[in-house]
């Protein structure tokens, strides 16, 4: 378990290595809309 926590800590600490993601919010919204459509189709 400690190894996993160390790996997670290292991953979180390395977040600054990657640049900002300007399209992130738009991509998140698109995914939410897809899930909403799937839920509508599957529920009725």
Using one digit for the tens of pLDDT, what is the confidence trace for 7-28? 999 988 887 787 778 898 899 9
> Which residues, 6 or more positions from 27, have their beta carbon under 8 angstroms from its beta carbon?
21
> What is the distance between the alpha carbons of residues 26 and 14, in angstroms, rounded to a whole number?
24
Confidence of residue 34 (pLDDT cuts 50, 70, 90): very high
Place of tokens 């909403």: 36
Nearest to 6 by CA among 40, 42, 14, 17: 14
Confidence of residue 2 (pLDDT cuts 50, 70, 90): very high
Place of tokens 């600490």: 13
Domains contained in the chain, number: 1
Confidence of residue 36 (pLDDT cuts 50, 70, 90): very high
Say whether pTM exceeds 0.85.
no
Which domain covers residue 31, as residue numbers?
A: 2-43
pLDDT at 21: 82
């Amino acid at each position: 378990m400690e190894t996993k926590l160390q790996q997670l800590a290292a991953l979180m600490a390395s977040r600054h290595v990657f640049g900002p993601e300007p399209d992130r919010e738009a991509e998140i919204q698109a995914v939410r809309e897809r899930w909403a459509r799937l839920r509508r189709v599957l529920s009725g």
